[in-house]
Amino acid sequence: MQTKKRSPFTAIVLAVIIGLLVIALLNGVVRPTQVVVARVPISPGTLLTAELVELHTIPAGAKPADALTKVEDAAGKMVAVGRAPGDMIVQSILGEIAGAGLPAELPEGHIAMAIHVDLASGVAGLLRAGQTVTVIGMISPDLINENPTTVLPAAIPEFSSPSLTPSAPLLATATPTPTPTPAPPSAPLARLAITGLKVLMVPQPFRYEEVPAGASEEQLFASARTSAASQDGSVIVVQVPTTAVEVTPGFKVDPPTLLAALDQYGIIHLALEPVSGVNLDVSDVVTLNLGELYEEMNDHRKKD
């Protein structure tokens, strides 16, 4: 039985077709395309800016379907998952999904609150998500003087339902003596208020970052911009329990209200806690009166 010989022309055509298919396939996979990637480490909850991301060229076949391709598309978006330098920025970690990240992580009986910090009160930008901090609150007597409290001279009468029947004349009652209002402190007060607050989010511009040796001029300018933004102050988000805590012996207040009041009318300083936490008894905490401190230091000053 004789085998049928194939025409050389047919073999050439098949080779050309296979070659074209391979080239087309390689063009689809290897063809370069640009995607948005993280330029520096980015922590969860950070709002993206043009300084935090950059364009990177990759093969088209390696590009995820939801990868961002323009830097301006990332600006102002929040990331729910931390990104290392070179990691691609994709839609699945941005927007509403990112916003829902914090509520999903909050344990029962806790809420997330934002408080104002600057370089001094925010531990020089060393705060990171996951750390715990102690809150030290300061209140000035000027606050009391600018917002005086009013004591009612008499008890508020009880409200009763209206009646069509004439009622008997009311008997005269003695006017109660108002409770004297304690004199406000004459000097600012400071006290360690709350411990064990977990840091949930620190904006990237507020974070202190070491500039690596041999950094480019662009990186040096970016670091300078970050430092300037930090000095202007920022806000961080902390996890706050809603259960009342004893601030002073016998005096309880819920932490969210205390933080809101101190943030609005007083001064908040944060202290970074060790990994093991801080275990303090409220009876061991002493309120510092700066007037008394001045008198003590003045009485014991060195005399010539």
Most confident of 88-102, 160-174, 188-202: 188-202
pLDDT of residue 176: 57
Do 121 and 267 form a contact (C-beta atoms < 8 A)?
yes
pLDDT of residue 235: 84
Q: Which pLDDT band, with edges at 50, 70 and 90, does 172 fall under? A: very low
pLDDT of residue 236: 87
From CA 275, how far away is CA 278, in angstroms rounded?
9
From CA 114, how far away is CA 20, in angstroms rounded?
60
pLDDT of residue 282: 73
Name the residue ranges covered by the structural domains of the chain: 29-105, 107-147+184-304
pLDDT of residue 46: 82
At 242-259, the pLDDT tens digits run 999 888 888 889 999 999
pLDDT of residue 132: 92
pLDDT of residue 260: 92
Q: What residue ranges in 16-129 does DSSP mark as E strands?
A: 32-38, 53-59, 110-117
Residue 139 has pLDDT above 90, yes or no: no
Q: CA 253 from chain center: how many Å?
A: 23
Task: Phi first, then psi: give them for residue 209, nearest 5 degrees.
Answer: -130, 130
Do 116 and 87 form a contact (C-beta atoms < 8 A)?
no
From CA 266, how far away is CA 257, in angstroms rounded?
13
Residue 239 has pLDDT above 90, yes or no: yes
Mean pLDDT of the chain: 75
184: CB partners within 8 A, 6+ apart:
141, 144, 145
Residue 296 has pLDDT above 50, yes or no: yes
Do 224 and 200 form a contact (C-beta atoms < 8 A)?
no
At 55-82, the pLDDT tens digits run 998 887 778 888 899 999 888 888 877 7
pLDDT of residue 13: 73
pLDDT of residue 163: 45
- Tell me the CATH number for domain 29-105: 3.90.1210.10
At 185-233, the pLDDT tens digits run 567 888 888 888 999 888 766 777 665 566 565 555 555 455 555 555 6
Residue 111 has pLDDT above 80, yes or no: yes
